A = this chain, B = another copy of it.
Amino acid sequence: MSIDLLQKQIIEKKNPTVLGLDPRPEYIPPHILSAHIAEKGETLQAAADAYYTFNCGLIDALADIIPAVKPQSAYYELLGHAGVEALQKTVAYAKSKGLYVIVDGKRNDIGSTAAAYSDAYLGRVTIGDTTFAPFDADSLTVNAYLGSDGIDPFIETCKKFDKSVFALVKTSNPSGGQLQDLLCGDRNLYTAVGDLMARIALDTVGEYGYSCVGIVVGATYPTDARTLRKRLKNSFFLVPGYGAQGGGAADVAPCFDEYGHGAIVNSARAILCAWKQSEAGDGSDYQSAARAEALRMRADIADVVTVL
Contact = CB atoms under 8 A, between A and B. Distances in A.
Contacts of A143: 106, 108, 143, 145
A77 B47 CA distance: 20
A37 interface: yes
A43 to B, nearest CB: 7
Interface in A38-95: 41-44, 46-47, 72, 74-75, 77-85, 88
Interface string A118-158: 01110001111110101100000001111111100000000
B80 A134 contact: yes
Given A77-B120, A88-B80, A182 B185 contact: yes
B88 A81 contact: yes
A172 to B, nearest CB: 8
Given A106-B109, A179-B196, A182-B184, A78 B134 contact: yes
B37 A128 contact: yes
A107 interface: yes
B74 A120 contact: yes
A113 interface: yes
Contacts of A88: 80-81
B128 A149 contact: no
A149 B291 CA distance: 32
A75 B189 contact: no
Interface residues of A, number: 72
A110 interface: yes
A245 B200 CA distance: 24
A85 B88 CA distance: 14
Nearest to A240: B110
A279 to B, nearest CB: 27
B25 A180 contact: no
A79 to B, nearest CB: 7
Contact of A116 (B78, B127, B176): B78
10 shortest interchain CB distances as A-B pairs: A147-B175, A147-B178, A42-B128, A81-B85, A42-B130, A80-B134, A74-B116, A182-B184, A110-B173, A149-B175
9 contacts: A77-B121, A79-B134, A81-B84, A81-B85, A110-B176, A145-B180, A146-B168, A183-B184, A183-B185
